Amino acid sequence: MTQKATTDALALKADASALATKADVSALAAKADKTYVDAQIAAIPVSSSGSENSTVVANTNLGQENNGKIVVVGSDGNIISGTVSETELIEALVAVGGYTANNALGLEVDYDNKSFTRIQQAHGLNAGSAFDSYIMYGGRKRCNVADDGTINAFYGENGYTEDGSNGQVMVYQPKFYYQRIPTSTAANKIGKTILRDSIMISSVA
């Protein structure tokens, strides 16, 4: 291929009008228009009343001004005014099974059926050594503690005794955080009865 033929072929491949057709500016502008965006958001299927079926809510007002925000949308598709606390948000996520706590072990307790189910990172684990990799369990160890709270020695270290000569014999418990989230309740005469809840424990907040 001659130099001119090569130049002509490159010019044809990079023809300005062809590129303009591929990336029509007016079409892009239309796609980025707020009215178009709001219309697309309005067409998002919204679950109705816990049903497995979904209905399209046409009058939702999830606009660009809410980008990056956590909002609550009512069954009519409109944003519910007010704020949502972190606890309320977590409770909602746990209730639908979409919440994973940070480095947490969990237990779901069903009081009606008297059943217990391991959840979060405890799911599938067996009692005993399977939990030792979590510091709040595996980090427990016997120690000698002085009356002022100072740890003098841990089990296996020089100076550790169990006769009281090096302080009281106690068990060191690493710091942990826990959270209890009711996932099913029933009204009673003085408030609510918890029918089922999730109890989680973690080494981090």
The reply to whether 82 and 151 lie within a common domain is no
Task: Report residue 61 as tokens.
Answer: 């007002």
- What residues pair up with 184 in beta bridges, in sequence order? 196
The pLDDT of residue 52 is 42
Residue 72 and residue 119 share a domain:
no
Tell me the mean pLDDT per 10 residues along the chain, length 205: 55 56 62 65 53 44 64 70 69 67 87 93 92 94 96 96 96 94 87 90 91
Based on the domain organization, do 126 and 140 belong to the same domain?
yes
CA angle 194, 198, 200 (to 5 degrees): 140
For position 154, what pLDDT does the model report? 97
- Does residue 94 contact residue 109 with C-beta atoms inside 8 Å? no
Q: Pairing between strand 168-172 and 141-145?
A: antiparallel
For residues 87 and 41, membership in a common domain is answered with yes
Both 77 and 112 in one domain: the answer is no
Residues 50 and 132 in one domain: no
Distance CA 60, CA 56 (A): 10
Residues 9 and 77 occupy one common structural domain: yes
> Is residue 113 domain-shared with residue 82, that is, in the same domain?
no
Helices (H) and strands (E) in the chain — how many of each?
Answer: 6, 11
Query: Distance (Å, rounded) from C-alpha 53 to C-alpha 46?
Result: 9
- Count of domains observed in the chain: 2
Both 109 and 152 in a single domain?
yes
4-31 per-position pLDDT tens digit: 555 555 565 555 555 555 556 666 666 6
103 and 189 share a domain?
A: yes
Identify the pLDDT of residue 25.
62
Measuring CA to CA, how many Å separate 84 from each of 33, 35, 90, 193?
30, 27, 10, 23
Query: Looking at residue 181, what is its pLDDT?
Result: 85
Residues shown for the chain: 205
Distance CA 144, CA 26 (A): 77
Tens digits of residue pLDDT in 103-126: 899 999 999 999 999 999 999 999
- Which of 50, 78, 93 delimits the end of a domain? 93
Residue 191's pLDDT is 87
Q: Is 153 in contact with 143 (CB distance < 8 Å)?
A: yes
- Residue 13 C-alpha from the chain's centroid: 48
88 and 112 together in one domain: no
Q: Which of 65, 93, 121 is the last residue of a domain?
A: 93
pLDDT computed for residue 94 by the predictor: 66
Secondary structure class of 63 (helix, strand, coil): coil
pTM of the model: 0.51
Sign of CA dihedral 55, 61, 67, 72: negative
Residue numbers of the domain that contains 181? 99-202
CA distance 192 to 134: 34
Rounded to the nearest angstrom, the gap between the alpha carbon of residue 150 and the centroid of all alpha carbons in its chain is 38
Predicted pLDDT of residue 146: 97
My answer on whether 57 and 148 are in the same domain is no
Q: Are the beta carbons of 138 and 120 closer than 8 angstroms?
A: no
Which domain-ending residue is among 34, 60, 93?
Answer: 93
Q: Which helix (H) or strand (E) holds 61?
A: none
Residue 123 tokens read as 């799911």
